[in-house]
Amino acid sequence: MKHQLIKTFSGIAAGIVICAALTLTSSLAHAEYNPKVLRIGFQKSAGVLTLLKAQGTLEKRLLSQAVDVKWVEFPAGPQLLEGLNVGAIDVGYVGEAPPIFAQAAGANFLYIGYEEASPAAEAILVPKGSPIQAVAELKGKKVALNKGSNVHYLLVKLLEKHGLKYADIQPVFLPPADARAAFERGSVDAWVIWDPYTAASEKQIGARILADGKDVVNNYAFVLAERQFAEKGPEVVKQLFEELQKQGQWVNQNYPDAAVQIAPLQGLDTDIVEKTLRRFSNVFKPITGQVLDEQQKLGDTFFELKLIPKPIKVKDAAL
């Protein structure tokens, strides 16, 4: 099982790629709005959404309205947002960072809802036996991370909390599969990553959590919809969101059973999946101004770090 997670989620590109990709594709024609089809972009790492797909409850609900549900898998949030931008999907679920890059590149989407903060679901890891015991000891060290992702923001904020600047460490930009390989080889001193990679690395290679996001970042996730679809098919989007809410509530009341169902879909051991589910909130709510204000902080930080080409106003993408 040591490398199952890498095999399952291999090929994930760095988040920053979305800016260039969306810039190139933004002029392409979008698919025409189809009120009888709901195309959902998902990632296998998204536990609640993966379970919703497997159980088919949304399909049953929309059957009476003659709406067909299509599921489109993506390896990561940046690619999913590109799919949303070019009309390949109507709705998607991603972490908090990819929408920032997508909006900076001109993607035409709306924030529909969010999953409550899950700060424990992302962390800085050090190898088993590492002498590093505190974040401040990362000064001058090589730290692997997925560029432009949620953990990029986590790293910046954790360094600030412990008296360091981003320039004090040596970032090594690698997608998760390559980052884990470098981490195991000892080519980097630490790895900033999210679940289920964190939980899998803890069990499979004895990685140790140096610090997680608690009291540092929110680590929200978002449900996004292509603007035209959100405006013309609000009832379908509403029903999808309600099913996510129900599924999330069930997961939080049935962690072991949920893990048993999700584990084979993700190619992971059940205990790894259960640990991951317990670290996420699995609570979905309609978008709020306060959450968008928090999202704006990411946008401002990424612009200051010159990771996006221009400042953005997150509320421009709100309903």
Q: Nearest-5° angle of CA 254, CA 259, CA 261?
A: 100
Looking up tokens 């013309």 gives 232
Residues 6+ apart with CB under 8 A from 103: 109, 299, 312, 314, 316, 317
What are the angstrom distances between the C-alpha of 232 and each of 32, 94, 103, 104, 227? 11, 22, 21, 24, 9
Judge whether residue 251 has pLDDT over 70. yes
Judge whether residue 91 has pLDDT over 60. yes
Residue 312: in which H helix or E strand, if any? none
Tokens of 114: 């969010």
Strand-pairing partners, residue 73, are: 42
Exposure string (b/e) for 73-82, b if CB count within 10 Å is 16 or more? Answer: ebbbbbbbbb
Average pLDDT estimate for 53-66: 93
Query: pLDDT tens digit string along 254-274?
Result: 999 999 999 998 899 999 999
Query: pLDDT tens digit string along 298-317?
Result: 999 999 988 899 999 999 99
Q: Which amino acid is at 283?
A: V
Tokens of 270: 């059940």
Looking up tokens 């590149």 gives 105
DSSP per-residue string spanning 185-254:
HTSSSEEEEETTHHHHHHHHH--EEEEESTTT----EEEEEEHHHHHH-HHHHHHHHHHHHHHHHHHHH-
On whether the CB atoms of residues 121 and 45 are closer than 8 A, the answer is no
Looking up tokens 């969010």 gives 114
Between 7 and 144, residue with greater pLDDT: 144
Q: Nearest-5° angle of CA 24, CA 26, CA 31?
A: 125
Residues 6+ apart with CB under 8 A from 294: 218, 220
Per-residue confidence (pLDDT) for residue 17, from 0 to 100 = 38
Residue 200: in which H helix or E strand, if any? helix 197-205
Tokens of 127: 């190898």
What are the angstrom distances between the C-alpha of 5 and each of 168, 243, 282, 293? 31, 27, 21, 34
Strand-pairing partners, residue 37, are: 68
pTM of the model: 0.84
Full set of structural domains in the chain with CATH: 4-118+220-317 (3.40.190.10), 119-212 (3.40.190.10)
Tokens of 223: 């449900």
What are the angstrom distances between the C-alpha of 37 and each of 54, 225, 251? 18, 14, 27
Judge whether residue 35 has pLDDT over 70. yes
Average pLDDT estimate for 138-144: 98
With bands split at pLDDT 50, 70 and 90, how would you rate the model's confidence at 125? very high
Tokens of 23: 């810039």
